[in-house]
A and B are shown apart, each in its own frame.
Chain A
Amino acid sequence: MHKILIALLLIMAPQVYAQTASTASGGQTLTVQPKIMVIPFTKEGEDIRTILDQDVNRRIAITKIKEAFDNRGFTTVDFIGKVKSANDNKVFTSENQVDIKSQLIQMSGADIYVQAEVDAQNSASGNSVNVILSAYEASTGNSLANKVGSSGKFFTEDFGKLTTKAVEACGADFMTTLQDKFTDIVNNGKSVMIDISFDQGSKYKMSSEIGNLPLSDQLEEWMAKNSFKNNYHIQGTTDMRMIFDDVRIPLRDQATGRNYNSNNFALELFKYLKSISLDPRKDIKGNTIYITLK
């Protein structure tokens, strides 16, 4: 009976993981591109969900920045669409603007967000608009590109046109800096954050000896061997938690050439923790990996 079952499994297994003919691409792999969302900067007292309804200059700035991405053949995540979707799905759990922004970025799935700040200046010698563009990695907070564009002073009330000039003044440079950072990511890996903690009631701590080393050292050794080009950074370690705030993983699996993402890396870490007789649970939000040990 057992032999029949094993034989059946052996026959079925290749079919479970076989390539579906409908999606076959002859082994071609297209590198997964980052999801980028352009969002408005908001000051104290402003609501990121409604600010674009009230300020046409910010709408112009965001549209011009998206146009810069479009001109380079890159599709961005639509901010307004995501706000609507978040409202419809009642994603926002608090009215704190910092939380709303974080929740919005998280539910959008954006890997990178570009924040656009518009500053209109009135003066007797002419009006001008300054635009500050900042691009950040959503998971690590790493800054990727920062540019300030100025329209110059003109005797005009058309702040829309001044905003357009300000964005055009720094847009190309901003895209070039962003592309330089992408080149760095292609060559040296993309950043993920790993947060390792314990379940309430867990008998383990970071100082618990696993094998002949404290768990925190075991984890660091594993990270040193398995991060891409040995590139990782520890934010901090306590007895209850260890945070690697910047671990580089390759864009492609170095063995198979396939796309490689935070899920794949989390799985490797999961398998390792199981191999040293721990009971892990993994939770992945974008490029942040949460590991909870029972």
Chain B
Amino acid sequence: MNFKIVVTACLLFFTCTTLYAQVSFVSGEKGTITVRASGNGKSINEAVANAEKDVFYMLLFRGVAGSEQSSALITMREDEAQQRYKAYLDPLLSERYPSFIISAVQDGEPVKGKHHQVSVLLDITVNVTALRKDMEANQVIRKFGF
């Protein structure tokens, strides 16, 4: 009986988990970057927000392959950075990130999936220069040089 409860719980967990959005490079020039990102959520707004947050996550910790931002903005280990700069990163990834978005254009209609999940595809343009300067001002990353 306990075993059946554990297995059921695991199945429910894995089928309800929101997958990380995919982020791919579209174009970039003069301090901005445009990426195509997909996001999932229980509503269109939530899906859009998740897509946008994942773009920032990629910029901060992974980089965007094929773009001028192919290297992550934060070069230290992710868990170390999350801990050391929690006071900066938590508000950035929850509330402040929209101020660095120049545009977010939905591509196509939202797709409804299983378990009331909605998926959206967006072209998001981010002001990377402003983001970098904000991080430098808050001493999350070093200014150019030593």
Total interface residues in chain B, CB < 8 Å: 14
A47 within 8 A of B: no
Asked if B31 and A34 sit within 8 Å, CB to CB, the answer is no
Asked if B145 and A74 sit within 8 Å, CB to CB, the answer is yes
A residues less than 8 Å from B31 (CB atoms): 71
Asked if A32 and B146 sit within 8 Å, CB to CB, the answer is yes
Majority SS at the chain B contact face: loop
Please provide the chain A residues from 12 to 36 with a CB less than 8 Å away from any CB of chain B in the complex.
31-34
Total interface residues in chain A, CB < 8 Å: 21
A residues less than 8 Å from B143 (CB atoms): 72-73
Asked if A176 and B146 sit within 8 Å, CB to CB, the answer is no
Closest to B144 in A: A72
Interface window among B8-16, B42-50, B68-76: B68-76
Asked if A71 and B129 sit within 8 Å, CB to CB, the answer is yes
Distance between B121 CB and nearest chain A CB, rounded to angstroms: 26
Majority SS at the chain A contact face: helix
A195 within 8 A of B: no
Picked from B68, B75, B142, the residue with its CB within 8 Å of the CB of A172 is: B68
Most buried by A among B29, B129, B144, B145: B145
Asked if B145 and A183 sit within 8 Å, CB to CB, the answer is no
Q: In the complex the two chains form, what is the Cα distance from A32 to B146 in whole Å?
A: 8
Asked if B29 and A168 sit within 8 Å, CB to CB, the answer is yes
Asked if B70 and A173 sit within 8 Å, CB to CB, the answer is yes
Asked if A251 and B71 sit within 8 Å, CB to CB, the answer is no
Asked if A185 and B146 sit within 8 Å, CB to CB, the answer is yes
Please provide the chain A residues from 240 to 276 with a CB less than 8 Å away from any CB of chain B in the complex.
251
User: Would you mind naming 29 contact pairs between A and B with Cβ atoms under 8 Å apart?
Assistant: A31-B145, A32-B146, A69-B144, A71-B31, A71-B129, A72-B143, A72-B144, A73-B143, A73-B144, A168-B29, A168-B30, A172-B69, A173-B68, A175-B144, A176-B68, A176-B70, A176-B71, A179-B142, A179-B144, A180-B71, A182-B142, A182-B144, A182-B145, A182-B146, A183-B75, A183-B142, A185-B146, A186-B146, A251-B146
Beyond contacts A73-B143, A176-B71: 7 other A-B pairs, Cβ-Cβ < 8 A, are A31-B146, A33-B145, A173-B70, A180-B71, A180-B75, A182-B144, A186-B146
